[in-house]
Amino acid sequence: MTNNHAYDQLMSFQRQTEALSLVAERLGWDQETMMPSGSADQRGEEMAAMEGILHARRTDPRILDWIEASDPPDVAGRAQLRLIMRSYQRATKVPSDLAQKLAQVTSVAQGVWAQARANDSVADFLPTLAEVIALRREEAACLAQGGDLYDALLDDYEPGATAESIGAMFGRMRPRLVALREAVLAKMPPAALVGRFGEAAQLRLSRDLALAFGYDFSRGRIDLAVHPFSSGSASDSRITTRVVESDPFNCIYSTIHEVGHSSYELNIDPDYKLTPLGRGVSMGVHESQSRIYENQIGRGRGFTKFLYGEMKSRFDFDLASAEAFYAAVNRVQPGFIRTEADEVHYNLHIMMRFDLERALVRGDLTVVDLEAAWNERFFKDFGVKVDRPSHGVLQDVHWSVGLFGYFPTYTLGNVYAGCLWQAMNAAVPGLEGQLSRGDTASAIDWLRENLQRHGGLNSPRETIALACGFEPSEGPLLEYLEAKFGALYGL
């Protein structure tokens, strides 16, 4: 800490704000995992009340006075000021009653979506979705101040990114992804993993895999949720997973994915605890951690050799070799569900959602026409007709909770993960051999040292560039996918 009195006052105030924000986040975690189903309306009021308190703190006029009077001597202190000023400027553009209304409506909307999804009834969700979109458009208008509404929302999740830059990147990626998809699907698929895999055994394996990836259970836990997620930071970062007894990969890779998110938070420099620097710098960078844990490491030939042995010791199935298991893990096939998509198809799911939600925010697409637009686009992109809403427009939680602008950060995270994987392999000799023994220490240590510990110290693109030693681009990801699946399918 600096001796600068104004800076010390600011950081003391900010520490309390960060703590309250985590309390509000814990309410969200409880809602997804343990809250009684009849408590949704009250939880909405609780979330609105918390948002009112947080909004008042984030717009407190003393913040500007403290910032102007502060002169921290170190890079971290100056970064703290930059992030606090950014939060202040964004918060002061949004009226408190709108911020509270958004918190209340999206909290209730989550339950409405879950019930509509369970009933496969889009009509039950559309009025609530329309209200969420109207509120988010109103918020975006406050933030954009005459600029692009979607960019204003995207900036919440990936500061510095624009829909134009994301769209251009997607335009460069799509032809190579489609060409790879077509080449792979023209080949005979490998054998799938078939069997029944009990819930208790899957959950025991998921805990062991979390430990293998360095997850700290003294500061975290695993619970079940409809849509897996991670929550929290600093000394309390929790994850959830889900179990499908016919498909253990669902639980395995949901767990590894969320461990990547949570470990990022847990591995940030403890000096940044309860400060703006003490969180992941953006959702794109966050997603780079979950995706590199899940895909490049978790679905790689090395780690799946270890996983095959673990599975064979716990379950009964017919795949007779680690290589056959590796092929089954990476089996490419069109499917409805984004979170279950293979690496070849995954980004095509994101590109579809990006275009649809951008049209919704712009007003070019109404919620009444959303299901038809989704189904038409899905058939065009994947060649399969959506059979029911829970496999289509109702499958993701994001729009119900107002996360417009979030979806493109998934593919951006994949792009960043491709860059990090290239850099990691150049820096860590013998990596595949280590992973084949279930030893992730070198990989996780490299990520911790080069990226995770820095938290929000640098901008998102700077964070990746400093870790990799080169500017991020989609090239390394596409090269990785073409090499991996070209070898698997004999292209």
Output the CA–CA distances (angstroms, integers) from residue 51 to 33, 62, 179, 321, 398, in the order listed. Answer: 21, 19, 46, 53, 19
Output the CA–CA distances (angstroms, integers) from residue 429 to 434, 464, 465, in the order listed. Answer: 9, 21, 21
CATH number for the domain whose boundaries are 163-489:
1.10.1370.30
* Ranges in the chain annotated CATH 1.10.1370.30: 163-489
* Whole-number Å distance between alpha carbons of 182 and 453: 40
- Residue 357 token pair: 């939600």
Per-residue pLDDT, 4: 87
Per-residue pLDDT, 227: 83
Q: Which amino acid is at 175?
A: P
Per-residue pLDDT, 2: 46
Per-residue pLDDT, 3: 56
Per-residue pLDDT, 1: 43
Is 258 part of the annotated catalytic residue set? yes
The Cβ-side half-sphere exposure at 132, using a 13 Å CA radius, reads: 26
Low-confidence residues of the chain: pLDDT under 70:
1-3
Q: Which of 51, 139, 158, 258 is catalytic?
A: 258
Give the gyration radius of the chain's Cα atoms: 22
Q: Strand 236-241 and strand 230-233: pairing?
A: antiparallel
- 387: nearest Cα among 206, 120, 201, 130: 120
Q: Which residue pairs from 311-320 have beta carbons closer than 8 angstroms and sit at least 24 positions apart in sequence?
A: 311/205, 311/248, 314/201, 314/204, 314/205, 315/195, 315/197, 315/201, 315/248, 316/195, 317/193, 317/194, 317/195, 318/191, 318/194, 318/195, 319/191, 319/193
Partners of 239 in the beta sheet? 222, 230
